[in-house]
Amino acid sequence: MPNNATSKTINAALLKRFGAEFEIDPELTGLNELEKIAGHRSHRRYLTRPIEPDLLRLLCACALSAPSKSDLQQCDIIIVSDATIRKSIVSFIPEMPWIDDAPVFLVFAANGRRLPTISKLRGKPFANDHLDLFFNAVVDAAIALATFIRAAEAVGLGCCPISAIRDHPKTVSDLLHLPNRVVPVAGICVGWPAQAGEITPRLSLSTTVIENKYDADDLAAEIDAYDRRRAKLRPYRQQRNTDRWGDASFYGWSEDKARQYAEPMRTDFGSFVRGKGFCLD
Ligand SMILES: Cc1cc2nc3c(=O)[nH]c(=O)nc-3n(C[C@H](O)[C@H](O)[C@H](O)COP(=O)(O)O)c2cc1C
């Protein structure tokens, strides 16, 4: 049966997201799923309603049903149900109280340990101890994280990934007893949303979808256009680091990101990863 209402909802979401209209065939199957994906938003406020353990288990299973590089299965999910461990994590990220408020907090980890262990168990040399081992494991974890979000949103839950745990990788690693060659990729808060939330506009598809070959683009103009479009829908409430950069009369996404990356962050992450036994060469 044609679903005109759903195709309209998808179009409305994508118009906010990309500032463009899309041709959507109302007879396509799976429009309900596209509606959820197109309408995605991160949630940082949650009801106190708990998430049943069976539902959480189901979502973890769906997340780990995601594709995995060479079927190597290098993502692990850590359910942080111990209140003391969660409080310790929150204590060093006080600017993100939603980590404490969420009924569930998980950590997605890249596991580069199982594979060399399997090689040893099967009496084979492990001939690929280089950057690709780390990269594959992180990619698997990121895909599983995204799939978890998709599954959670399908049942009406809201999520917020937390890369801020990588500001303190050793502390998180010690708290969760992560062994050698297992590193945290991102945490994620999960809960029943307390409010509808809003769509965040993205760069236009002409900036981020390339056909065949990159060519000389007009990035500066595209960024300016995006900044203006985004500011109409989601203006920044606060300017970053005004002590250093002053108050901008127009404060757009690119100004915010440039200011964010003007400060050194996670400069110790490479040495942490090497210290966990990964070879990054
Ligand atoms: C890998 C990853 C890490 C993130 N880390 C954080 C974080 O530490 N804290 C936070 O509040 N949001 C975090 N986010 C959420 C992003 O800020 C959010 O996805 C982005 O602003 C776009 O908004 P949207 O998800 O509502 O479209 C993270 C998202 C991703 C994918």
> How high is the mean pLDDT of the chain?
97
Q: What percent of the chain has pLDDT above 90?
A: 98
Residue 258 lies in a domain: yes
Domain boundary among the residues 140, 162, 197 is at 197
Q: How many domains does the chain have?
A: 3
Give 40 Cα–ligand 1 centroid separation in angstroms: 12
Residue whose pair of structure tokens reads 């001939």 in the numeric block: 127
Residue type, 169: P
Assess contact for 144 and 159: CB atoms under 8 A: no
15 and 146, same structural domain?
A: no
Residue 19 lies in a domain: yes
Alpha carbon distance 276, 270 (integer Å): 10
Residues with CB under 6 Å of ligand 1 are 40-42, 44, 96, 160-164, 186, 200
Q: Average the pLDDT over 232-246 and give the result.
A: 97
Give 162 Cα–ligand 1 centroid separation in angstroms: 7
pTM for the full model?
0.97
Residue whose CB lies within 8 A of the most ligand 1 atoms, among 160, 190, 195, 234, for a mutation test: 160
The string of pLDDT tens digits covering residues 50-108 is: 999 999 999 999 999 999 999 999 999 999 999 999 999 999 999 999 999 999 999 99
Give 2 Cα–ligand 1 centroid separation in angstroms: 34
Give 212 Cα–ligand 1 centroid separation in angstroms: 29
Tell me which residue of 87, 78, 48 sits closest to 187, measured CA to CA: 78
Residue 44 lies in a domain: no
**3-state secondary structure (DSSP) of residue 77:** strand
Strand partners, 159: 190
Q: Is the pLDDT of residue 1 over 80?
A: no
Report the nearest-CA residue for atom 19 of ligand 1.
Answer: 42
